[in-house]
């Protein structure tokens, strides 16, 4: 395969902390290696609307520590059509752009997959707080999101302890329970409810009641949004034990804020790696990190595989939450 001479970068889907660090790494790595580099505004919408701008070193100055994405992001229904995909590919080709780095989640990867079949050399970077992309241990933004949840739980525990109450914290994760799992383990939550593991709310209520009866002064339940609504769960729990937990829905606060050093480093490594893979003539790959080693996996394989839930970590959380 022929190496690229000009590449573009876009962010797509939900934003995640560290996207800017990834964009910065792609741009500066490309420039360091003598490539032209372009930024696409508002994801695949920008490709279709030809909202593509040439970038230089200053274009990505002072963004390493910033949340969100300077390129902005948007969902694009038109790009899901064959006609929209052809327009996007043609807009890249007419500018002489032969490589594209896509930073986003599963839906973004599927877009990169389509473009790779239209002659655009593509690399996907896992930019999502949900940590639900397979063939990578961690995704860009996940570490920061977990840190935000842990900080919130730490603060909630103070007031729950003062009033001897229970708290249910609803976190993001429609189909993946990783934020709930990692944050619950890190914060010492008594109960973690995730889509991947069956549970019995009557047993959750009984355990909570028993803990308070034996002198415990607080109880924390972490609930992934994909399981259900926190308000509904609290009502059911109160029917079984007479104590209704207070609900905190963290929502989009989990996506914002300054990325942790782990997310900045991960994004920087992956962005540079994506450029090196394109320069080597590779295409149609998803970049990830496994056991601290950078890997590139066929994007066809990635989009057709569901990431495995870490049952060992969940069992550890159970053992330590007595």
What would the DSSP string read from start to end of 142-168?
Answer: HHHHHHHHHHHHHHHHHHHHHHTEEEE
| Cβ contact 137:291 at 8 Å | yes
Q: How far is the C-alpha of 312 from the C-alpha of 2, rounded, in Å?
A: 43
Q: How far is the C-alpha of 127 from the C-alpha of 138, rounded, in Å?
A: 10
Establish whether 14 is an annotated binding residue: yes
Edge-to-edge order in the sheet of strand 285-290: 52-54, 36-40, 6-11, 99-104, 121-126, 285-290, 293-298
Establish whether 24 is an annotated binding residue: yes
Establish whether 254 is an annotated binding residue: yes
The CA-based diameter of the chain, rounded to the nearest angstrom, is: 71
Establish whether 218 is an annotated binding residue: yes
- Residue of 98, 130, 132, 143 with catalytic role: 130
Establish whether 208 is an annotated binding residue: no
| Cβ contact 11:19 at 8 Å | yes
Establish whether 216 is an annotated binding residue: yes
Establish whether 234 is an annotated binding residue: no
Q: Sign (positive/negative) of CA torsion 112, 141, 290, 6?
A: positive
Establish whether 111 is an annotated binding residue: no
In sequence order, what are the beta bridge partners of 305?
none
Catalytic residue check, 158: no
Establish whether 255 is an annotated binding residue: yes
Establish whether 207 is an annotated binding residue: no
Establish whether 170 is an annotated binding residue: no
Establish whether 30 is an annotated binding residue: no
Looking at residue 283, what DSSP letter applies? -
Residue ranges for the known binding site for Mg(2+) are 106
Residue ranges for the known binding site for substrate are 128-130, 165, 172-174, 225, 246, 252-255
Q: Catalytic positions, please?
A: 130
Residue ranges for the known binding site are 14, 24-28, 75-76, 105-108, 128-130, 157, 165, 172-174, 188-190, 216-218, 225, 246, 252-255
């Amino acid at each position: 395969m022929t190496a690229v001479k000009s590449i573009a970068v876009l962010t797509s889907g939900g934003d995640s902390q560290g996207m800017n660090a990834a964009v910065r790494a792609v741009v500066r790595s490309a420039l360091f290696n003598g490539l032209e580099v372009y930024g696409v505004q508002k994801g695949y919408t920008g490709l279709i609307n030809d909202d593509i701008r040439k970038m230089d070193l200053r274009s990505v100055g002072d963004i390493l520590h910033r949340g969100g994405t300077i390129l902005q992001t948007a969902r694009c229904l038109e790009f899901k059509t064959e006609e929209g995909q052809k327009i996007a590919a043609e807009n890249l080709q007419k500018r002489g752009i032969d490589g594209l780095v896509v930073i986003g989640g599963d839906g973004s990867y599927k877009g990169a997959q389509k473009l790779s079949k239209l002659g655009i050399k593509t690399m996907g970077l896992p930019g999502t707080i949900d940590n639900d992309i397979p063939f990578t241990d961690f995704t860009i933004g996940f570490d920061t999101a977990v840190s935000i949840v842990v900080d919130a739980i730490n603060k909630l525990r103070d007031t729950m302890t003062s009033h001897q109450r229970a708290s249910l914290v609803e976190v993001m994760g429609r189909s993946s329970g990783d934020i709930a799992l990692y944050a619950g383990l890190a914060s010492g939550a008594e109960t973690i409810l995730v889509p991947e593991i069956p549970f019995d709310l009557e047993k959750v209520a009984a355990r909570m009641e028993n803990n308070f009866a034996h002198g415990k002064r607080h109880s924390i339940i972490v609930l992934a949004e994909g399981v259900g609504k926190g308000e509904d769960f609290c009502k059911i729990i109160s029917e079984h034990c007479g104590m209704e937990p207070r609900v905190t829905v963290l929502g989009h606060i989990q996506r914002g804020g300054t990325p942790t050093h782990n997310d900045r480093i991960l994004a920087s490594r992956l962005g540079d790696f994506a450029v090196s893979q394109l320069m080597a003539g590779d295409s149609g790959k998803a970049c990830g990190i496994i056991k601290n080693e950078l890997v590139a996996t066929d994007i066809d394989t990635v989009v057709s595989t569901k990431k495995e839930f870490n049952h060992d970590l969940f069992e550890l959380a159970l053992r330590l939450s007595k």
